[in-house]
Amino acid sequence: MNGLPLRWKLFRVMCILQLIMVLYSLVIHGIRLFNGRNFWGDLIGVISYGIVFLFVCQGLALLSDNYPDTPLTVSQKRRFNLLFLVNFILIAFLFAKTVYVWRIIPYINMASIMRGNLFFNLLFIIFQSIVVFIFHLLFLYGMYRLRQLIYQNTVTGWYQQFDGPASQQPK
């Protein structure tokens, strides 16, 4: 992690936080899946958060293994492209989840009067939903830039390799 620029260190920290929050949501939906109240909604939540979790894991792996100039294998490219497209579509799911959580806001004032754990639970649900959505947007942009940077550094390395020592002579 010493060779990473500050922005990629911050990206890694954001990925780890995103992993924790997505794993929390994945577990909550997984537990509620067996309650039987909203089976299809929780199944969609498990699948969606599972896909987000896989993409964040792949992002951390690419940052660790391929940054700055190790080219991606064909299977890594294929998996990246598929997960990127699906996660881009999942922006709509996470935004809908965030908007859905806004229905809790009128109850916060009542919960603050009761002074129980309910107040903090409601705030946590709202905070977690908003942060997961914002981190997901930032993560998708960061993954796009990471893939672009790895490709650019790989091509530059190939050009330098084939230019030979003539281009590296001192002036």
* pTM score of the predicted model: 0.82
d(CA 142, CA 67): 13
pLDDT in tens, 121-139: 778 888 999 999 999 999 9
Statement: residue 168 has pLDDT above 70: no
Q: Is 58 in contact with 80 (CB distance < 8 Å)?
A: yes
For the chain, domain boundaries: 6-157
| Alpha-carbon distances of 146 from 41, 63, 73, 114, 154, rounded to whole Å | 33, 8, 15, 47, 12
